[in-house]
Structure 1
């Protein structure tokens, strides 16, 4: 399998899988599943960033200082993008879009906001997946798995926002399909651009690690603190651990299979 075929296969399969699962859960009105998926996604993102992506960035010849600078710059960049409402996530009923719905839908404004933000987000995800596959097939698969794990709860939130914003189920599905196409476009751009810029690979991986850590620590973990009881905390820890373990085991299996 060529590198380009692997990249396209991972992005298309990931987009379809996350979209179908998210639609099934959102349309069956089971938002109570979202916290479970979010906890697992946190573990997958942390595991991918700290066990695979950042160590690989250093091993690729990027000294620790360069990778750390890319990580720091990436975190600041994603903070700025989120502040500009270009990157917006919503995973629970307490976010601004859902609060607005409690007083009547907002005639599509929050739905449009989430669509624009996620189109950009998915485009960046595609670039990150392409960059990882260009480094190593194993790293590409691990990165794609982590992104898919995060995409499922995010897509559920997207569907809920769009429905609460006044869109029909058909319109919500169509908009999420369009945002998913951005992942494939990002992967194509990443493949053709990054293949000519191999010297920047450690920096790219540092930025990829920053995106995973930022989403997990800034966006997802704070939502878990809304349930502080012991039982919920233990459940969250187990699911986070399961997410990390999935990445670790996948890395071992993929490595042995090559």
Structure 2
């Protein structure tokens, strides 16, 4: 009996070995059929989604996490009801360009930009919060649909290119700021999207210093006009009041606003093509920033010698820069494509930029993230660090500004927190 039992065990062991051998051979054959090197990053990620562990995690996440939608997210869906990211981008551009400009009709001509410090701090907190909590995670990890679990492959060269795009956006604003400083003779603090010269403690003084410098440069030319022209302009019997000269800084401010508003349009279009949530949060951040931006610009134009009507008209003209930027961003996304929308040939590996999975459209979002980083750091923080002789007043002002920044960033954090 023991001999027969031992023989059966030996036969079973032999059969098991044969089965394992056959299974190993079949596995090896199937592995040979799938050349991992010929698969793109998206194809590999799609195959990993069918992994049993990922499927179990997805099922667990769907059962444990109840789908919820905050009031703010519901409001986003009402404000952007379209399924087309292109249409939503233009709707967002109308939101950020229209209301802030119409509000200028209610702004007095003697508004002090320094009175907008708290609003500026709130807006900067929102911009930095949107960049750090929404844009950067979206850039490097992508959007994960609610109730799902996604596997992402680390693609080192792709991350390097995304970092380069962020740096290019940052340096682009540095170049713009530097160029405007050169154009104004290096006097004062040039206006950067309402950004680098955000209304703050030093803003009004800088504007006056810049205007004074430009006025001094033109004083010799004005003096050559002679006493007769001077008398005719200031004579009490003159029926028309003397015209206030429009300074060069006001015209440069208009050019800078138009150029920088283009980046707002790029930010909105690239955000909506990334995901509806990212687009909505970026719109909110830009909108909060546009109000003090427009009021500060309006004050600079008035101080530069323009009438209220002319200043409002030119602000509407600069708002068209955002429309142009949105159109450029939509064109790049539609014709240049992005990694989520472009249909690539299967089994040929990554066919994007420099052998990565990136397309040209994927670089718009990191570019605008770089500009937002400039706005919230180099553009505003130096002015927030300026202090006056009254220590108690400065401490109170600092506390209010930091609370406002925390509130702006907190809203951005609360939108995405699950």
Give the TM-score normalised by structure 1.
Answer: 0.88
- CA positional deviation for 1:67: 2.4
Point out the more displaced range, 67-76 or 121-130. Answer: 67-76
- CA positional deviation for 1:31: 3.2
Question: Counterparts in 2 of 1:136-215, with a 5 A limit?
Answer: 136-197=275-336, 198=338, 199-215=359-375
In structure 1, the residue corresponding to 2:270 is in which secondary structure?
helix
- CA positional deviation for 1:126: 0.5
What residue in structure 2 maps to residue 231 of structure 1? 396
Q: 1:48 to 1:224 in 2, by over 3 A?
A: same
CA contact (8 A) 1:53 1:209 kept: yes
Structure 2 distance, partners of 1:21, 1:234, is 28
Q: 1:79 aligns with which of 153, 156, 174?
A: 174
Question: Counterparts in 2 of 1:75-114, with a 5 A limit?
Answer: 75-85=170-180, 88=192, 89=194, 90=197, 91=199, 92-95=203-206, 97-101=207-211, 107-114=246-253
Q: 1:109 to 1:3 in 2, by over 3 A?
A: same
In structure 1, the residue corresponding to 2:315 is in which secondary structure?
helix
Point out the more displaced range, 216-225 or 21-30. Answer: 21-30
1:43 aligns with 2:125: yes
CA contact (8 A) 2:123 2:285 kept: yes
- CA positional deviation for 1:10: 0.7
Q: Name structure 2 gaps, 5 residues minimum.
A: 1-81, 143-151, 184-190, 216-243, 339-358
Structure 1 distance, partners of 2:310, 2:137, is 42
What residue in structure 2 maps to residue 18 of structure 1? 100
- RMSD of the alignment, in Å? 2.3
CA contact (8 A) 1:26 1:156 kept: no
Structure 1 distance, partners of 2:92, 2:284, is 9
Q: Name structure 1 gaps, 5 residues minimum.
A: none
CA offset digits 1:112-146 (Å, max 9, x no partner): 00000110111121112111111111111111111
In structure 2, the residue corresponding to 1:195 is in which secondary structure?
helix
Structure 2 distance, partners of 1:47, 1:26, is 31
CA contact (8 A) 1:162 1:172 kept: yes
- CA positional deviation for 1:201: 4.1
1:245 aligns with 2:410: yes
Give the TM-score normalised by structure 2.
Answer: 0.56
Q: 1:26 to 1:245 in 2, by over 3 A?
A: farther
Q: 1:231 to 1:242 in 2, by over 3 A?
A: same
Structure 1 distance, partners of 2:105, 2:210, is 22
- CA positional deviation for 1:168: 0.3
What residue in structure 2 maps to residue 7 of structure 1? 89
What residue in structure 2 maps to residue 130 of structure 1? 269
- CA positional deviation for 1:3: 2.0
- CA positional deviation for 1:28: 6.3
CA offset digits 1:207-248 (Å, max 9, x no partner): 111111101101111111224732111111100001101222
In structure 2, the residue corresponding to 1:243 is in which secondary structure?
helix
In structure 1, the residue corresponding to 2:335 is in which secondary structure?
coil
Structure 1 distance, partners of 2:306, 2:397, is 33
Greater relative contact order (Cα 8 A, min sep 6): structure 1 or 2?
1
In structure 2, the residue corresponding to 1:75 is in which secondary structure?
helix
